[in-house]
């Protein structure tokens, strides 16, 4: 009961308030309580035509980044977790290596993100190395302020969010199942695909939810690493908030929320997390 | 109506309760604390210490971004005692009724404030009036008015504190030829090496300066565009963006410094102290005067309507002190301009005044208030004298009537 109260107060109520405000009207300096579709109408203005409207374009750009980041974090995160769970032999070594993985997270994630800039810049470390090795004659421009740098920073920031839940799932796998698979003549890949991955599903889904939610709502990383030139839904909301267009921002937030919820529902359809846990 | 009434009653009740609670403490201490809300531009510990020493008033700085200055003034007028706002913000704040007019008769130096603010002219010459020029929003018809007065009155919206003229910063070592027009911002020669700020209301004006300079469109008022003009501006900018003209957009001071110092950009919109910062890092950088003129901005102190009694008196004392010279000299030494020039001059060394205000070569090393050397002897300020720089203002930072539309179009531009 107390938990329900906390949830109602700090989760349901703000959410309802956002939903209500998204129907309000606004002026330069005030919010006007109202029931208007203005914010939603303006958001989807021009979306009926064949050229992409801003909102669709922004969502597509955000989704594309999200998909790329998801793919990389999942691959890398799973590989690291697999190595930790199955390849490392002693418990002590496993603990040490696991702690090593989390060590970078003791620093602020803004610092971890910004430290890429001197590395990737036009006159940065990477470009100087490439030039002195004679691989390129002109500095490579797409290393920084590009989708590449955004994805790189995201993967760096969020891989651990996949590693930990997947590692947790892998550790619960009964080792006898792997032996049984080998005895039955399965190759390493077959064991991985037919035994390990299905049993790691809860961890994979939980990690995926973390990554998707973090990337879909982000505006700082995309802003800094993308040189403020790449559209993201979070950035749109932030700009609207700073211009006191709270109702427009609230409407945008509701649409984003619906989309992310949809994605999470789809993921949980793949695997019943509650049963698996 | 009735709910509004009771809510106001409740607010008054709370305020009264807060006042009774707070009052004994104030009397016991005998000192007044003023909560000073504004961007960090003026919030120096040097000023704070001097105010404490001269007036016994304790300033409590609340540094926020310029967007938050507006947000606080509109939504939380009880959270500060003095507002350090910019003039363009007034078009959003004054209609909310949260600021009240300041009595000109209480400002001892009012008659000495530079005519840039009171008449929109300098040395008898009119200066650029496009955008939210301070002259247009300086006066209120009455103390509690929510609209502006076109003619001077006794009631002032803001008392000017600091202002400057902004232009493009360039890297002379990487450009190697003279730059004299805003049009260069969009010149394909600098493809992938240009930048503007991603603050829509300011960024669009820099864009407009560049577009007008390149002869593509002549604006009636760059600070108050029509929807059609916003469309034209954003179309040109979107084309440039898609062609890869911009390396990045910047949002804050340090980003602009880093872009320029690291060589990511060679030409970009910039703020004066950012250029100084780049130069102090040993990287050549010029705050380039351009033939189309400058985009100017100005800030000042405003009074929240909640201010009464001792705090109100203290605020007037503080403002009068601010105009009396010490603070003005402090600001001038950083490359900004102060509102009352005569008093500031009295607090500056002659060689400092010659360098910062008269555009003459520095007779000796020019130092910042904290003692760091900003310019070596012999250096000349970019853009020259006060008259040359402020006299060449083309437009002022502004809030457009079509602000909502502009913000939407800007978001489209970022998404494009």
Confirm whether B325 is domain-assigned: yes
Per-residue pLDDT of chain B (416 residues), as tens digits, is 334 444 444 444 444 444 444 444 444 456 899 999 998 778 889 999 999 999 999 999 999 888 889 989 998 999 999 999 999 999 989 999 999 999 999 999 999 999 999 889 998 899 999 999 999 999 999 999 999 999 999 999 999 999 999 999 999 999 999 999 999 999 999 999 999 998 888 999 999 999 999 999 999 999 999 999 999 999 999 999 999 999 999 988 888 999 999 999 999 999 988 998 899 889 999 999 999 999 999 999 999 999 999 999 999 999 999 999 999 999 999 889 999 999 999 999 999 999 999 999 999 999 988 888 888 899 999 999 999 999 999 999 999 999 989 988 998 888 77
Confirm whether B147 is domain-assigned: yes
Considering only CB atoms, which residues of chain A are within 8 Å of chain B? 28-30, 42, 54, 57-58, 61, 117-118, 121-124, 141, 144-145, 223, 227-229, 231, 235-236, 239-240, 242-245
Same domain flag for B233 and B190: yes
Nearest-neighbour CA in chain B from A19: distance (Å): 20
List the domain range (segments joined by +) for residue B268. 168-292+385-415
Query: Hey, are the CB atoms on A28 and B249 less than 8 Å from each other?
Result: no
CA proximity to B104, closest of B179, B25, B61, B157: B157
Confirm whether A8 is domain-assigned: no
Q: Of A110-114, A214-218, B105-109, B282-286, where does mean pLDDT reach its minimum?
A: A110-114
Residue of B96 and A270 predicted with greater confidence = B96
Confirm whether B40 is domain-assigned: yes
Contacting residues of B for A124, CB less than 8 Å apart:
262
Confirm whether A41 is domain-assigned: no
- Nearest-CB residue to A245 (from B65, B404, B414): B404
B416 near A CB under 8 A: yes
Backbone angles phi, psi at B338, to 5 degrees: -105, 165
Residue A259 has pLDDT above 70, yes or no: yes
Confirm whether B245 is domain-assigned: yes
Confirm whether A19 is domain-assigned: no
Give dist(CA A142, CA A120) in Å, integer.
9
Confirm whether A42 is domain-assigned: no
Confirm whether A13 is domain-assigned: no
Give chain A's domain count: 1
Contacting residues of B for A228, CB less than 8 Å apart:
198, 248-251, 414
By CA distance, what is B409's nearest residue in A?
Answer: A54
- Are B133 and B275 in contact by the 8 Å Cβ rule? The answer is no
Q: Which DSSP helix (H) or strand (E) runs through A250? A: helix A246-270
- The SS3 call for residue B72 is helix
| Interface size, chain A vs chain B, as Cβ–Cβ contacts under 8 Å | 85
Nearest-neighbour CA in chain B from A69: distance (Å): 19
CA proximity to B326, closest of B123, B109, B165: B109
Same domain flag for B251 and B329: no
Residue of A105 and B358 predicted with greater confidence = B358
What pairing do the DSSP bridges indicate for beta strands B57-63 and B32-38? parallel
Confirm whether B213 is domain-assigned: yes
* Cβ neighbours around A101 below 10 Å, total: 17
Confirm whether B235 is domain-assigned: yes
Mean pLDDT of all residues in A217-246: 89
Give dist(CA A48, CA B362) in Å, integer.
62
Contacting residues of B for A42, CB less than 8 Å apart:
408
Nearest-neighbour CA in chain A from B250: distance (Å): 7
Q: Using the 8-state DSSP alphabet, how is residue B361 labeled? A: P
Residue A199 has pLDDT above 70, yes or no: yes
Same domain flag for B256 and B394: yes
Same domain flag for B35 and B152: yes
Contacting residues of A for B411, CB less than 8 Å apart:
54, 58, 231, 236, 239-240
- Are B131 and B398 in contact by the 8 Å Cβ rule? The answer is yes
The helix, strand and coil proportions of chain B, stated in percent and rounded to the nearest 5, come to 45, 20, 35
In this structure, what CATH number is given to the domain that contains residue A161? 1.10.3720.10
Backbone angles phi, psi at B273, to 5 degrees: -65, -25
Same domain flag for B142 and B181: no
Confirm whether B193 is domain-assigned: yes
Query: Hey, are the CB atoms on A227 and B403 less than 8 Å from each other?
Result: no
Query: Hey, are the CB atoms on A54 and B412 less than 8 Å from each other?
Result: yes
Contacting residues of B for A145, CB less than 8 Å apart:
247-248, 264
How many helices (H) does chain A have, and how many strands (E)? 16, 2
Contacting residues of A for B415, CB less than 8 Å apart:
54, 57-58, 61, 231, 236
The helix, strand and coil proportions of chain A, stated in percent and rounded to the nearest 5, come to 75, 0, 25
B97 near A CB under 8 A: no
Give chain B's domain count: 2
DSSP string, A132-153: HTTS-SS--STTSSSHHHHHHH
Contacting residues of A for B241, CB less than 8 Å apart:
229
HEC secondary structure over A1-25: CHHHHHHHHHHHHHHHHHHHHCCCE
By CA distance, what is B98's nearest residue in A?
Answer: A29
Residue with tokens 């199955």: A86
Structure tokens at B226: 């029509």
B415 near A CB under 8 A: yes
Q: Using the 8-state DSSP alphabet, how is residue A214 labeled? A: H
- Nearest-CB residue to A229 (from B67, B241, B262): B241
Contacting residues of A for B200, CB less than 8 Å apart:
239, 243
Question: B238, B268, B411, B413: which to substitute to probe chain A, counting the most A Cβ within 10 Å?
Answer: B411
**Predicted pLDDT of residue A84:** 94
pLDDT in tens, A2-36: 899 999 999 999 999 999 999 999 887 788 898 99
Structure tokens at A9: 């107060």
Nearest-neighbour CA in chain A from B92: distance (Å): 5
Same domain flag for B49 and B158: yes
Give dist(CA B255, CA A239) in Å, integer.
18
Same domain flag for B34 and B132: yes
- The SS3 call for residue B154 is coil
Count of positions (residues) in chain A: 277
Nearest-neighbour CA in chain A from B128: distance (Å): 25
Nearest-neighbour CA in chain A from B249: distance (Å): 5
Distances (CA, A) of B92 to A30, A122, B87, B227: 9, 41, 10, 19
Residue A112 has pLDDT above 50, yes or no: yes
Give dist(CA A11, CA A79) in Å, integer.
35
Contacting residues of B for A229, CB less than 8 Å apart:
241, 246, 248-249, 414
- The SS3 call for residue A128 is helix
Same domain flag for B156 and B177: no
**Predicted pLDDT of residue B27:** 42
Q: Residues of B numbered 113-172 whose beta carbons fall under 8 angstroms of chain A's beta carbons: which are they?
A: none
Same domain flag for B46 and B106: yes
Same domain flag for B116 and B142: yes
B261 near A CB under 8 A: no
Contacting residues of B for A117, CB less than 8 Å apart:
258, 262
Confirm whether A97 is domain-assigned: yes
Q: Using the 8-state DSSP alphabet, how is residue B84 labeled? A: E
Virtual CA dihedral for A66, A71, A74, A75, nearest 10 degrees?
Answer: -160
- Are A228 and B248 in contact by the 8 Å Cβ rule? The answer is yes
Query: Hey, are the CB atoms on B247 and A227 less than 8 Å from each other?
Result: yes
List the domain range (segments joined by +) for residue A93. 53-276
In this structure, what CATH number is given to the domain that contains residue B60? 3.40.190.10
Structure tokens at B250: 């910047």
- Please name the residue ranges forming H helices in B252-391: 253-261, 272-280, 309-323, 326-332, 341-346, 350-356, 386-391
Same domain flag for B157 and B176: no
- Are A166 and A160 in contact by the 8 Å Cβ rule? The answer is no
Interface ipTM > 0.90 = no
- Are B221 and B215 in contact by the 8 Å Cβ rule? The answer is no
Confirm whether B351 is domain-assigned: no
The number of angstroms, rounded, from the C-alpha of A42 to the middle of its chain's C-alpha atoms is 27
Same domain flag for B308 and B243: no
Confirm whether A250 is domain-assigned: yes
Distances (CA, A) of B215 to B92, B209, B212, B224: 32, 10, 5, 19
Structure tokens at A48: 């009926």
The number of angstroms, rounded, from the C-alpha of A265 to the middle of its chain's C-alpha atoms is 16
Nearest-neighbour CA in chain B from A233: distance (Å): 10
Query: Hey, are the CB atoms on B92 and A57 less than 8 Å from each other?
Result: no
């Amino acid at each position: 009961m107390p938990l329900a109260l906390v949830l109602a107060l700090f989760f349901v109520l703000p959410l309802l308030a956002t939903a209500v405000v998204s129907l309000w009207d606004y002026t330069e300096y005030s919010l006007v309580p109202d029931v208007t579709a203005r914010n939603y109408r303006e958001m989807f203005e021009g979306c009926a035509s064949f050229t992409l409207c801003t909102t669709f374009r922004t969502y597509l750009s955000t989704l594309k980044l999200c998909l790329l980041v998801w793919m990389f974090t999942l691959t890398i995160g799973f590989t690291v977790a697999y190595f930790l769970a199955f390849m490392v032999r002693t418990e002590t070594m496993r603990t040490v290596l696991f702690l090593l993985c989390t060590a970078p997270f003791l620093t602020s994630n803004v610092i971890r993100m910004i430290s890429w800039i001197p590395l990737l810049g036009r006159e940065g470390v990477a470009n100087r190395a490439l030039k002195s090795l004679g691989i390129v004659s002109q500095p490579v421009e797409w290393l920084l302020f590009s989708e590449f740098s955004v994805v790189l920073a995201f993967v760096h920031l969020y891989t651990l969010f996949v590693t930990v839940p997947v590692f947790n799932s892998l550790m619960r796998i009964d080792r006898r199942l792997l032996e049984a698979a080998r005895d039955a003549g399965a190759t390493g890949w077959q064991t991985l695909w037919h035994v390990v991955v299905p049993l790691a599903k809860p961890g994979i889904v939980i990690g995926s939810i973390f990554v998707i939610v973090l990337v879909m709502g982000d505006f700082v990383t995309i802003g800094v690493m993308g040189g403020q030139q790449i559209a993201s839904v979070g950035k749109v909301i932030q700009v609207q908030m700073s211009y006191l267009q709270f109702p427009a921002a609230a409407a945008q937030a509701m649409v984003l929320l619906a989309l992310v919820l949809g994605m999470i529902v789809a993921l949980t359809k793949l695997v019943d997390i509650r049963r698996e846990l | 109506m009735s709910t509004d009434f009771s809510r106001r009653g409740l607010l008054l009740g709370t305020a009264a309760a807060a006042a009774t609670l707070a009052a004994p403490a104030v009397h016991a201490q005998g000192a007044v604390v003023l909560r000073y809300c504004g961007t960090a531009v003026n919030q120096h510990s040097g000023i704070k210490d001097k105010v404490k020493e001269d007036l016994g008033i304790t300033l409590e700085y609340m540094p926020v971004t310029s967007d938050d200055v507006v947000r606080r003034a509109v939504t939380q007028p009880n959270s500060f005692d003095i507002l350090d706002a910019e003039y363009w913000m007034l078009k959003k704040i004054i209609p909310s009724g949260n600021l009240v007019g300041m009595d000109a008769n209480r400002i001892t130096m009012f008659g000495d404030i530079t005519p840039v603010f009171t008449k929109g002219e300098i040395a008898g010459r009119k200066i650029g009036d496009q955008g939210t020029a301070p002259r247009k929003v300086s006066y209120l018809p009455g103390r509690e008015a929510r609209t502006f007065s076109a003619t001077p009155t006794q009631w002032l919206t803001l008392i000017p504190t600091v202002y400057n003229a902004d232009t493009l910063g360039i890297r002379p070592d990487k450009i190697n030829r003279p730059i004299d027009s805003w049009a260069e911002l969009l010149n394909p020669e600098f493809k992938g090496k240009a930048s503007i700020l991603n603050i829509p209301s300011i960024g669009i004006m820099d864009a407009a300066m560049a577009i007008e300079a390149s002869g593509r469109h002549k604006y009636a008022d760059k600070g108050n565009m029509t929807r059609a003009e916003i469309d034209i501006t954003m179309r040109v900018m979107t084309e440039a963006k898609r062609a890869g003209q911009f390396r990045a957009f910047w949002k804050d001071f340090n980003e602009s410094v880093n872009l320029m110092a690291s060589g990511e950009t060679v030409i970009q919109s910039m703020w004066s102290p950012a250029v100084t910062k780049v130069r102090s890092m040993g990287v050549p950088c010029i705050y380039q005067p351009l033939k189309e003129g400058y985009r100017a901005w100005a800030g000042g102190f405003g009074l929240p309507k909640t201010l009464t009694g001792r705090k109100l008196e203290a605020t007037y004392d503080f403002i009068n002190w601010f105009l009396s010279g010490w603070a003005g000299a402090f600001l001038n030494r950083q490359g900004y301009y102060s509102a009352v020039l005569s008093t500031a001059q009295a607090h500056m060394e002659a060689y400092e005044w010659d360098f910062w205000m008269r555009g003459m070569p520095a007779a000796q090393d020019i130092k910042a208030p904290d003692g760091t050397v900003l310019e070596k002897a012999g250096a000349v300020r970019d853009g020259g004298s006060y008259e040359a720089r402020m006299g060449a203002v083309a437009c002022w930072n502004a809030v457009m009537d079509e602000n909502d539309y502009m913000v939407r179009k800007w978001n489209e531009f970022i998404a494009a």
